[in-house]
Amino acid sequence: MEIDPPALQSAGSPATPVSLTGSRVQSVAPTPAGANPRLIQIEAYDFFYGNHQVLHQVSLDIPERHVTALIGPSGCGKTTLLRSINRMNDLIEGAHHRGDIRIRDQSIFDPHLEVIALRKRIGMVFQKSNPFPKSIFENVVYPLRVAGVRQRSILEETAERCLRAAALWDEVKDRLHTSALGLSGGQQQRLCIARAIANEPEILLMDEPCSALDPVATARIEELILELKQRYTIVIVTHNMQQAARISDYTAFFYLGRLIEAGPTHRIFTSPKNKQTEDYVTGRFG
Amino acid sequence: MELPFDRELHELNERLLTMGSLAEQAVHRALQAFQTRDATLAAQVRDSDNVLDRLEVEVDERAMVLLSKAPLARDLRMVTMAMKISQNLERIGDEAAKIAKRARALAHEPPVRLDVDLTPLALEARSMLKASLDAFVQRNPEAARALIPRDQGVDVAHKSIREKLVAHMQARPETIPQCLEVLTVAKCLERIADHATNIAEDVVYLCEATDIRHVGKAAADTTGS
C-alpha cells in the first residue's frame, strides 16, 4: 500500500501539516484554515458479507472540506467502504466488520452512538437519483419533517437555501409544489443533493452521482461539488477517471478489497507509484 | 492485448524516432558540408529540415488527438513529452539548416586560416544529441541525467571560441566575413547541445515524473540571495 503523507496517511502515522513541497502543481484547493486533516479515520478496517471478506485492513485518513475520490474496478470494495462510513451496511444481514472508523475522533461503532444521529451528520447521494413521489419542496424538507420540524418559515428557508446550494433554485422556484418526478435526470440528482444537505451534514457521500447523466448535467453536478466542498467533506465513488481528476483533491485506489495507493489526485493521475494504480488509471486493466 | 490507444501511442513514438534520426543526420551532413565546403550536401540539409517541420506538425496533431482521449499517468507524460521533444528536434533541424546555410555562404568566400578548431565542440554537440536520443529510445533516465552536466562544458567551449574569433577579427579585419560565419556555426552547435539537454530533461520526466528543469539554477539563485 502506498500512501502519501500527510493528507491521506496510514493509521498510526504522525500527523504533519499538508505540504506539497517539491511539486509545482497545487492541489485543487489549498487546505482551508482550521480544516481537520483527519476528519474521518479509517483504521485497519475489514468488512465481511457473511464469510466473504470484501475489505482487507483498509487504513485511510480523509481530510475535512476536500473532495476525496475512491476509485477502482467493480467489486474492489469502494462502495462498501463508502457505505460503511454512515453504517448503511448495518442493514445487510450477515454483514460484519473488524477495525474502526472514527469521525472527529469518535468511533462510529461506539455502542452509545445513535445510528440515526450519525446518519444525520452524513448526507448520501446515490448513483440513480431517487426523488420521493412528492413535490420538489417536500423532497427537500423531508429530512426536517422526519425530525419533527413543523414551522413553515424554517421549512421555506431551508428549501430555498438547499436548492440554491444545489444550483437548482432558479430553475424550480416557480414550481416548488409540482412533482419532483417531472424534473430532468440532472435536476433530480441536484434535488437529491439539496435533500442530502437539508440536515446540514458534515459529510457528503456520493456513489457515482453522475453515471446516469449526460455531459452537461454531469458538468453542473461537478461544478456543484466544487462549490459544496467549501462547507462539506465529500467522499465520492467514481468509475470516471477524468471526473476524479477534475473534481477531487485526493484519490484512493482500491483493488480486490485492498487500498493500493492514495495521495493528491494530481500525483495519482500523473505519476502513480504503484504499477497496479498506473495500469488501472491508464485503462490497462479493470 | 494491444489497445487501439496503445497503437496510436506506438505510432507517435515511431514519428519521434524518425525525427530523431533525421535531426542527427541533418547535423552530421551540415557539419560535413561546412568542413568540405560542399554546397550540394548543404542543400540536402535544407530539404531534410522541411521534412522535420512537417513531422513536428504531425506529432502535434497526433498528440492533440490522443489528448482528446484524456490519457493519464505514463500515457499523459508520453503525449506531452512527445510534443516537447518534437519541438526540440525540429529546432535542432533549424540549427543544422543554419550551419548548412553558413557553409554555402562560406563556400563563396576565399579560404582563410583561422586559429580556431570547431571539431571538439561539434563532436560533443553531436555526441550529446545521440546520447539524448538513446536515452529516449531506451527510456533510460540515468543516462539522461548523466548527459545534462555536459552542457556546461559546451558553453565554456563556445565562449572560448567566441573570444578567439573576436581577437582574430580585431587582429585581421579582412577575415571578419569568414569569422562571423564560423561564429554563427559555433552558436548553432551550442544551441544543439541545449536542445539535447532539454530532451534529456524531458526523458527524465517521461520516466520518473520528476521535473528537473532549472533545478540547479534555482538552487544557485537561492544560495546567491
Query: Does the distance separating the beta carbons of B74 and A282 come in below 8 Å?
Result: yes
Question: How far, in Å, CA of B177 to CA of B198, rounded?
Answer: 32
DSSP A159-204: HHHHHHHTT-HHHHGGGTTSBGGGS-HHHHHHHHHHHHTTT--SEE
Give the helix ranges, DSSP H, for chain A. Answer: 78-85, 115-120, 136-146, 152-165, 169-172, 185-196, 215-228, 241-247, 265-270, 275-281
Q: By 3-state DSSP, what share of chain B in percent is helix, strand and coil, each rounded to 5?
A: 85, 0, 15
Residue A79 lies in a domain: no
The answer to whether the CB of A123 falls within 8 A of the CB of A243 is: no
Query: Does the distance separating the beta carbons of A283 and B70 come in below 8 Å?
Result: no
Question: How far, in Å, CA of A142 to CA of A199, rounded?
Answer: 10
The pLDDT, as a whole number, for residue A11 is 35
Quick one: which of B130, B118, B167 has its CA closest to B27? Answer: B130
Rg (CA), chain B: 19
The number of CA neighbours under 13 Å toward the Cβ of A3 is 19
ipTM summary value: 0.71
Contacts of A281 in chain B (CB under 8 A): 72-73
pLDDT in tens, A233-267: 999 999 999 999 999 999 999 999 999 999 999 99
Question: How far, in Å, CA of A223 to CA of A226, rounded?
Answer: 5
> Which of A241, A270, A283 is nearest residue B77 as measured by Cβ atoms?
A270
Helix (H) / strand (E) element for A264: namely: strand A258-264
**Which three three-digit cell numbers place residue A78?**
469502494
Average pLDDT, chain B: 93
Question: How far, in Å, CA of A13 to CA of A6, rounded?
Answer: 8
Residue A145 lies in a domain: yes
Non-local (6+) Cβ contacts of A179 within 8 A are A133, A134, A135, A136
Strands A106-107 and A122-125: unpaired
> How many structural domains are present in chain A?
1
Query: Does the distance separating the beta carbons of A281 and B211 come in below 8 Å?
Result: no
Residue A218 lies in a domain: no
Q: Is the pLDDT higher at A77 or at B115?
A: A77
Helices A152-165, A185-196: axis angle to 10 degrees equals 120
Non-local (6+) Cβ contacts of B125 within 8 A are B27, B154, B189, B190, B192, B193, B196
Residue A151 lies in a domain: yes
pLDDT in tens, A162-191: 999 998 999 999 999 999 999 999 999 999
Domains of chain B: 4-217 (1.20.58.220)
B73 touches chain A (CB under 8 A): yes
**DSSP 8-state code for residue A9:** -
Give me the torsion for CA of A188, A190, A194, A196, rounded to 10°: 80
Query: What are the φ/ψ torsions at residue A43 (nearest 5 degrees)?
Result: -125, 115
Contacts of B77 in chain A (CB under 8 A): 270-271
B1 touches chain A (CB under 8 A): no
Non-local (6+) Cβ contacts of B170 within 8 A are none
Residue A134 is part of which domain span? 130-200
| Mean pLDDT, residues B4-22 taken together | 95
Instruction: Tell whether the model's pLDDT for residue A29 goes beyond 50.
Output: yes
The answer to whether the CB of B202 falls within 8 A of the CB of B84 is: yes
pLDDT in tens, B90-122: 999 999 999 999 998 888 878 888 889 999 999
**Which three three-digit cell numbers place residue A115?**
445510528
Residue A148 lies in a domain: yes
Question: How far, in Å, CA of B51 to CA of B59, rounded?
Answer: 12
Strands A233-237 and A67-71: parallel
Contacts of B73 in chain A (CB under 8 A): 269-272, 277-278, 281-282
Residue A168 lies in a domain: yes
Band of pLDDT at residue B203, cut at 50, 70 and 90? very high
Residue A88 lies in a domain: no
Where do we find the cell 440528482? A189
B17 touches chain A (CB under 8 A): no
Contacts of A284 in chain B (CB under 8 A): 3
Quick one: which of B35, B40, B38, B44 has its CA closest to B185? Answer: B35
Contacts of B3 in chain A (CB under 8 A): 283-284
Residue A190 lies in a domain: yes
First vs last C-alpha separation in chain B: 54
